[in-house]
Amino acid sequence: MGNVILDVTDVSKSFGGLQALSNINLRVEEGTVHAIIGPNGAGKSTFLNVIVGRLAPSRGRVLLGDQVLTGKQPHEINQLGVARVFQTPEIFPDLTLLQNIMIPAFAKRDGQFSFGIFKSLFAERGIREEAEHILEDVGLIADRNKVAGSMSRGDKRRLELAMCLIQDPKLFLLDEPTAGMSRHDTNSTIELLQRIKERGMTKIIIEHDMHVVFSLADRISVLAQGAIIAEGTPEEVRNDPKVKEAYLGG
């Protein structure tokens, strides 16, 4: 394996008596797309919530490069380079698309650098240009001055992707990015994800649509009842009898 960017060791999480994750071990190689699949309630979202610091694991450890994420707050983990799109888009509905995209860009800059006033004016122009560039990339440039709350669900999802892309994260987590989308929006989102794959950004994607998973993932882990029951290339996973039984329905 090449450079490991995410290293998860023995992570477990229980909610009261429910063991949502048991002893998860997972390594993600830099620059790859790693998919996590599994039935509803398998623990996929819980796993992402542990990585981003929204949930504390009952035990185990998560590393990003050589940084320990376990025990850090979500905003600290975000500052370290982890971005995430949620199952339900989280955007600022009263702001324009351009403003929505500039917020994470400023947050990232202000968390990392301190600029003098002149530098800051230049930086603002730079960020605006970058924001427009990314809106163009995701196909929303014509709507840049529209209020985000007025957009369709698919466009909100695209906007949320753009809000992550402008952060240029080391690790990008996507929790069912095509959930609730029409076939048309799903296809254009896959096409967008394929284009951003070429940038070499490391991603973990949770997705129900096997067509999406098999077209995007370099590796797949299969989660069932809180445990990883199989891991491998799409080909290996597709042909794994355990997976067919537990997930693909035999």
Nearest distance from C-beta of residue 239 to Mg ion, angstroms: 25
What is the rounded distance in angstroms from the CA atom of residue 149 to the CA atom of residue 112?
A: 30
C-beta of 45: minimal distance to ligand ADP in Å?
A: 3
20 binds, among ligand ADP, Mg ion, none (CB under 5 to 8 A by kind): ligand ADP
Q: Is 57 helix (H, G, I), strand (E, B) or coil?
A: coil
CA dihedral (198, 52, 166, 142) in degrees, to 10, reads 90
- Is residue 248 within 8 Å of residue 229, measured between CB atoms? no
Q: How far is the CB of 185 from Mg ion (least distance, A)?
A: 19
Residue number with CB closer to Mg ion (88 or 239): 88
Residues lying near ligand ADP in the complex (CB under 6 A) are found at: 15, 18, 20, 38, 40-46
Coil vs helix vs strand at 15: strand
Choose the contact partner of 186 out of ligand ADP, Mg ion, none; CB within 5 to 8 A by kind. Answer: none
Q: Which is nearer to Mg ion, 41 or 149 (CB)?
A: 41
Residue type at position 205: I
Residue 222 CB, shortest distance to ligand ADP, in Å, is 11
What is the contact surface with Mg ion in residues (CB under 5 A)?
44-45
For residue 32, the one-letter residue type is: T
The sign of the CA dihedral 33, 38, 40, 46 is negative
| 22, 40, 112, 240 from 246: Cα distances, Å | 17, 12, 45, 10
82 vs 223, which CB is nearer to ligand ADP?
223
Q: Which is nearer to ligand ADP, 20 or 102 (CB)?
A: 20
Give least dist CB 128 to Mg ion, A: 35
In the complex with ligand ADP, the residue whose CB is nearer, 104 or 226, is 226
